[in-house]
A and B are shown apart, each in its own frame.
Chain A
Amino acid sequence: GQNIDQPTEMTATEGAIVQINCTYQTSGFNGLFWYQQHAGEAPTFLSYNVLDGLEEKGRFSSFLSRSKGYSYLLLKELQMKDSASYLCAPYSGGYQKVTFGIGTKLQVIP
Chain B
Amino acid sequence: EPEVTQTPSHQVTQMGQEVILRCVPISNHLYFYWYRQILGQKVEFLVSFYNNEISEKSEIFDDQFSVERPDGSNFTLKIRSTKLEDSAMYFCASSTSGGVADEQFFGPGTRLTVL
* Interface size bracket, B side: 20 to 34
Cβ contact within 8 Å between A95 and B31: yes
Dominant SS among interface residues on chain B: strand
- Is A109 an interface position by the 8 A CB rule? no
Cβ contact within 8 Å between A42 and B42: no
- Is A30 an interface position by the 8 A CB rule? yes
Among A80-101, those with CB < 8 Å from B are 87, 91, 94-101
Whole-angstrom CA separation of A10 from B44 in the bound complex: 23
Cβ contact within 8 Å between B43 and A96: no
Inter-chain contacts of B75 with A (CB < 8 A)? none
- Segment of B12-20, B64-72, B76-84, B100-108 in the binding face: B100-108
Inter-chain contacts of B44 with A (CB < 8 A)? 100
What are 5 A-B contacts with C-beta separation under 8 Å?
Answer: A30-B101, A42-B106, A96-B31, A96-B95, A100-B42
Binding site for A on B (CB under 8 A): 31, 33, 35, 41-45, 48, 50, 55-56, 58, 91, 95, 98, 101-109
Binding site for B on A (CB under 8 A): 30-31, 33, 37, 41-45, 48, 50, 87, 91, 94-103
